[in-house]
Amino acid sequence: MQHAQQNMAPQQHRWGAPQHAQQPWHRPARANEKLTILYSRLSRDDELQGPSNSIVNQRQLLQEYAERNGFRPYMHLCDDGYSGVCWDRPGWQRLLGEVDKGNVSAVVFKDLSRMGRDYLRVGLYMEMFHEREVRLIAINDGVDTVEGEDDFTPFRAILAEWYARDISKKIKSVFHKKGRDGKPMCTNPMYGFMKAPGEKDVWVVDEGAAAVVRRIFRMTLDGMGPSAIAKTLASEEIERPSYYLYMAGRQATGGKCDPELPYNWRGNVISKMLRRREYMGDLVNFKSYKPSFKSKKVIVNAPENCVVFEGVLPAIVDRDTWEMAQKMRKTRRAPVAGMPPNPLTGLLFCADCGGKMTNRRKGAGEPFAGSGCGGNGSPHAGCDGGSACGGDHKSGGNANSADSRSGAEPHYDTYECSTYRNNMKRQIRTCSLHYISSAAANREIASHIRKVSAFARENEAEFYEIVHAASGARRDELAGRQRGTIDKNKRRIAEIDALFRRAYEDNSKGKLSDERYTMLSIAYDEEQAELAAANRELESELCAYDEHQANAAGFAALSRRYGELEELTTQILYEFIDKVYIHQADKSSGERVQRVEVILNYIGKFELPAAERSPEEIEAEERRLAKKRRQQEYHRRRYAERKAAEAAEVEEAAEAEEVGEAAEAAEAAEAAEAAEAAEAAEGAEVAEAADNEGKDSSLRSE
């Protein structure tokens, strides 16, 4: 059995106060001389400075016993404020370290319960002392291992544990009653609160820390993530919660505080703070529990097992701000290509499959915040997306458009259906692209919000009538659409089951390799899991939909608060919008028409009354359509001319190539004829030479 080796320095009290009881032994030990350890423990503190009276009494009793019986040299070790079921006590660990070194001849306790209140552990340590030849003495229990084993000792250990179990039950019942009565169960208030003077169960706002909490929520609503918030606070040298509580004289949660790192903010700390309902005034009790009074393991309770008391604490942030922060944190926003996160991310959904729309950006062109005429990617007030305002309405989604000022590579900023994109990677075709540029989506959303907000401010009575009349029909429409999506997903799950069975049969017959079968199995499992999760979410929304009635007054108040909406920030978008459904584009009319369905908070989908158009407006619209048709016809004609010119160039090139080939063939024929003539002349010369040689030989013979 291995134990932590402790040094011989004076021990520190559990809560930070020095323990003066930790003194060296009575006299220095001689070489090879073992010492006696006098150990005392108390599981509760009193209000005295230093060790409590009980510890003092134990020390006196143990010292008198050691002096009277000649146990020298001896050494005092104590643990004041530690439970008997806790075994990582500093004094106890130091005792074990001395035993491991072989420096101990005897250990003296007031009684066995001072060793601990876990009879199994007590038995193990007694066996260990016996193996190490360490004498064990419990004065009040009459236990001395030198005099032999006491048959009643195990029962004393069991009784000690029963006592600890009984105390644990009583303390737990007190805490449970306190928690059910709506009182804070934790000893020290969390960051942002402090105890009211003279009232240990009443929390008040600590304005110094509350200002930081409010700022963290504001930065979250501005689209910043936990890590970015932590870096900002650290760079501004704002004290982190544990250090702040330490310097204020209040115990930090878990006692974890490094004074050398006062500004070491971390993203997980920010995330935990953003999840706390206490900041909006709700007290949450029974958030965790321990499985046994012997165990230190803390198990987090399921949310449904927690007890929430709404509005019993002073709120640091309002409820709408807290809920909006939770909504924004459901979607991860990360900077792309040096551009800040797109504020629409997390709001756009595919109208067909219900999946989230994924933002895709590329290039180092103008950041998203300046891509629209409004300066934040959205049109300014009064802008209808036309050219009259002189602003830049170019969609970042045009992959062929370049930044003319910086000379950057072509870039784009678009949204696409995540279901389509993910399944295409697995070579499974489901849903469709539902492509839309960020600028176009911003333009439509901004225009709709401004029009509905203006209508609510200027025609409040009519606005209320329309909202209440449309709420029932809208409820039925949404329920029907969700049921349709659920049925579609269920059919696809059944299809995947059939495909999986077929793939299994092909693999067992050797028609499909193991590698291919494994790849298909993983793809099918992932798709089924995604569809099942989507169905669970849709069914949950369907069950809860009837609980959410239209609140025209809430939207009207929101419209009055923001007025003309000069600029649409991330916070404003999330305050006005619940969801935005992007439909597949329709090109049947010769124009690309895409429906953007905006679901607003409080009132859901709102259709503005159709305004009666004047003859001038009708004439202007007809002129616009005629101009568009002329432009389309012009582009079609230019396209046809360009294609015809390309075809003519290809034909001319083909003819030139044929002429060249014919000339090359003629030259080749002439060369062949010349070669044949040269060969014939050479043959004649050879024949003539042979004839002359024959004549010469006949003359010589004569």
Provide DSSP, 145-202.
GGG---TTHHHHHHHHHHHHHHHHHHHHHHHHHHHHTT---SSSPPTTEEEETTEEEE
Q: What is the CATH number of the domain that holds 205?
A: 3.90.1750
Structural domain contains residue 184 = no
> Residue 683 pLDDT > 70, yes or no?
yes
Tell me how many domains the chain contains. Answer: 3
pLDDT digits (tens, 9 = 90+) for 634-652: 888 899 999 899 998 988 8
> Residue 47 pLDDT > 60, yes or no?
no
Structural domain contains residue 685 = no
- Judge if 197 and 275 occupy the same domain: yes
Of 127, 150, 78, 75, which is closest to residue 106 (Cα–Cα)? 75
* String of DSSP letters for 260-307: T-TT---HHHHHHHHH-GGGGT-EEE--EE-S-TT----EEPPGGGSE
Dig out the tokens for 249 from the structure.
């004289």
Structural domain contains residue 639 = no
**Residue 274 near residue 325, CB atoms below 8 Å:** yes
- Judge if 533 and 407 occupy the same domain: yes
- Judge if 583 and 477 occupy the same domain: yes
pLDDT digits (tens, 9 = 90+) for 88-135: 899 999 999 999 998 999 999 998 888 888 878 888 888 888 888 899
Domain end marker among 110, 136, 170: 170
Average pLDDT (68-94) is 88
- DSSP bridge partners of 358: 416
Q: What is the CATH number of the domain that holds 89?
A: 3.40.50.1390
Structural domain contains residue 235 = yes
- Judge if 468 and 541 occupy the same domain: yes
Model confidence band, residue 380 (pLDDT cutoffs 50, 70, 90)? very low
DSSP assignment letter at 111: S
- Judge if 420 and 297 occupy the same domain: no
Q: Please state whether beta strands 288-289 and 357-362 pair in parallel, antiparallel, or not at all (unpaired).
A: unpaired
- Judge if 215 and 154 occupy the same domain: no
Q: Which domain holds residue 246?
A: 193-329
d(CA 207, CA 693): 131
Predicted confidence at residue 614, as pLDDT, reads: 77
Domain end marker among 590, 605, 620: 605
d(CA 107, CA 130): 11
pLDDT digits (tens, 9 = 90+) for 221-267: 888 889 889 999 999 999 999 888 888 887 654 456 777 888 989 99
**Residue 161 near residue 116, CB atoms below 8 Å:** no
- Judge if 280 and 368 occupy the same domain: no
pTM of the model: 0.56
Structural domain contains residue 657 = no
Omega of the bond leading into 197 within 30 degrees of 0 (cis): no
- Judge if 507 and 470 occupy the same domain: yes
Helix 207-221, helix 319-329: angle, nearest 10: 50
Model confidence band, residue 543 (pLDDT cutoffs 50, 70, 90)? low
- Judge if 310 and 443 occupy the same domain: no
Structural domain contains residue 680 = no
Name the amino acid, one letter, at 103: N
DSSP assignment letter at 281: T
End-to-end CA distance of the chain: 133
- Judge if 231 and 378 occupy the same domain: no
Of 458, 400, 397, 418, which is closest to residue 592 (Cα–Cα)? 397
Q: Which residues of 529-546 are buried (b: 16+ CB within 10 A; e: fewer)?
A: ebbeebbeebeeeeeeee
Domain end marker among 296, 329, 362: 329
Structural domain contains residue 97 = yes
Structural domain contains residue 643 = no
- Judge if 567 and 422 occupy the same domain: yes
- Judge if 356 and 500 occupy the same domain: yes
